[in-house]
Amino acid sequence: MGHADPLAQTAAAAAMANDSHAMDNFWMPFSPNKEFKQEPRMFVKGEGMYLWTPDGKKLIDASSGLFCVAAGHCRKEIAEAVYKQLNTLDYTMPFARAHPNAFKLAQEVAEFTPEGLDRVFFVCSGSEAVDSAMKMALAYHRIRGQGHRQIFISRERAYHGVNMGGVALSGMVNNRKVFGVGLPGVYHMRHTALPQNKFVKGQPEHGADLADDLQRYCTMYGGENIAAVFVEPTAGSFGCLPPPVGYLNKLRAICDQHGILLVFDEVITGWGRMGANFGAQAFGVTPDLMCMAKAITNGAQPLGGIAVRTDIYDTITNAGPAKGIEFFHGYTYSAHPACTAAGLAMMKIFREEKLIDRAAALAPYFADALFSLKGLPLVTDIRTIGLMGAVELAVDGNPGVRGHEFQKRLFDAGVNLKATGDNLIVAPPFISEKSHIDEFVGVMRDVISKG
């Protein structure tokens, strides 16, 4: 019986409960460490739509882990592919060495990306994808004699990961407050959460004009000095803010006018979450670079990527020496064999189970179910798009207090989901049946109704 066995994990959890120092060493990420260590909420097993706690309680996973597990938990095909790979070639240096699956996965990823975004750079996370894309933008401009393009534009209420570039781009106050601005020369457009956009299913009608903020920055700082604009097609971590109709098209047009690269951060919106392969296809706007991660391996291995326009790749590689490195960037674990094996297994699941079509077909039912919570006294807004939605609760004293409390109450009542501020964020696996949606929405109704 190995440590991964649920029974062994359960025994480990029980032993920890009797050892007051057993949880001291692990510094948990993005977590209330002190509170968690007093009242831990752990899982020891996952299968399909469900997760199990050490004491055998079963919870439905309404957020696909952290937007990762599109195909449901513990897919055997992925586990077996990773096991086989680790027993065949566990690791190879990714610099000036490679393994065939890295090329194969890039080719298969390019079958899902918009036409023209067909060069794929692999990393290990969404944060790395974002910072890598920033470097690609700088390199591309510099090679073309436009090294003066040093400014980046993003948005309020955006989340672009935790590396220094991403922290600078993010518009999340708590993420920046402690670390400062991250990088100088990053400016934020306004977000699109307008009062008139409350309780809207899909794309709201109002707010395309907020894209004019980009034009204002172009006028103020010179469009010729801006390297790239980073946006999530739908702001995810901050509570599901779909783009107003016409908003992304407008950003695209302004970028084209000034030679600015448009980067979509599709770490959450990619791989079917919006009801199409990527947000780019769902909203009919093609960026120049696209960041991805999370569902690319169903969350089973850490893998991210950047899909890049062919001519951007050509510009950077052709400018390099005939036999030397062209782009001084990469990670020890770029295109790790175990991660690419998981990615290839997931691509097969996407294709064979038509998972993205399935997510699209379920989206209207999901939206109606979530909107059935409208009218509950604490619910101040509901937003949905594809298989993602947010139920926003009234602030209780300080922002985030109620969201945090309700996320714990929902756990105790049998639903696992993420809360950001006072938004309960729902993003179920694409294998969901209507009955699963009814199940977690029913529990949400009970818990929220109790106040």
Ligand X SMILES: Cc1ncc(COP(=O)(O)O)c(C=O)c1O
Q: Which residues bind ligand X (CB under 6 A)?
A: 125-127, 130, 159-161, 232, 236-237, 265, 267-268, 293
For the CB of residue 159, give the shortest distance to ligand X in the complex, in Å. Answer: 5
Instruction: Pick the closer one to ligand X by CB: 138 or 290.
Output: 290
Residue 70 CA to residue 79 CA, distance in Å, equals 15
* Min CB(130)–ligand X separation in Å: 5
Task: Select 149 or 157, whichever has its Cβ closest to ligand X.
Answer: 157
103-112 CB burial, b ≥16 within 10 A, e <16? eebbebbbeb
* Environment class of 87 (CB within 10 Å of its CB; exposed 0-12, middle 13-18, buried 19+): exposed
**Which DSSP string do the residues of 41-96 spell out, in sequence order?**
----EEEBTEEE-TT--EEEETTHHHHT-TT-B--HHHHHHHHHHHTT-----SSS
CA angle in degrees (0–180, nearest 5) for 146-311-261: 50
Q: Which is nearer to ligand X, 255 or 303 (CB)?
A: 303
Residue 37 beta carbon to ligand X: minimum distance, rounded to whole angstroms: 22
Minimum separation from the CB atom of position 2 to ligand X (A): 27
CB of 406 to ligand X, least distance (A): 20
Strands (E), 124-198: 151-155, 186-189
Between 165 and 204, name the residue whose CB sits nearer to ligand X: 165
- Compute the least distance from the CB of residue 65 to ligand X, in Å: 11
Q: Is 192 helix (H, G, I), strand (E, B) or coil?
A: coil
Q: Is 220 helix (H, G, I), strand (E, B) or coil?
A: helix
> Nearer Cβ to ligand X, position 262 or 293?
293
Closer to ligand X by Cβ: residue 231 or 316: 231
Partners of 200 in beta bridges: 383
C-beta of 161 vs 275, nearer to ligand X: 161
- Could you tell me which of 384, 377, 386, 375 has the C-alpha nearest to residue 424? 384
Nearer to ligand X, 54 or 165 (CB): 165
Residue 187: both structure tokens together: 């400016």
Tell me how far, at minimum, the Cβ of 366 lies from ligand X, in Å. 19
Per the structure block, which two tokens stand in for 70?
């599109």
Nearer to ligand X, 161 or 207 (CB): 161
Question: Would you tell me the crossing angle of helices 434-450 and 401-413 to the nearest 10 degrees?
Answer: 120
Query: Which helix (H) or strand (E) covers residue 23, if one does?
Result: none
> Closest distance between ligand X and the C-beta of residue 451, in Å?
30
| Listed residue (442, 439, 428) closest to 65, CA to CA | 428
Task: Report the nearest approach of ligand X to the CB of residue 129 (Å).
Answer: 7
The nearest distance, CB 266 to ligand X, in angstroms, is 7
Dihedral (Cα; 413, 417, 420, 421), 10-degree rounding: -10
Closer CB to ligand X, 64 or 237, in the complex? 237
Paired tokens of 347: 């691509």
The SS3 call for residue 130 is helix
Question: How many residues does this entry show for the chain?
Answer: 451
Q: Among all residues, whose Cβ is closest to ligand X?
A: 126
Q: How far apart are CA 250 and CA 208, in angstroms?
A: 7
Return d(Cα 206, Cα 339) in angstroms, integer.
Answer: 41
Q: Is the Cβ of residue 158 or residue 208 nearer to ligand X in the bound state?
A: 158
Give the Cα separation of 422 and 164 in Å (integer).
26
**Closest separation in Å from C-beta 38 to ligand X:** 26
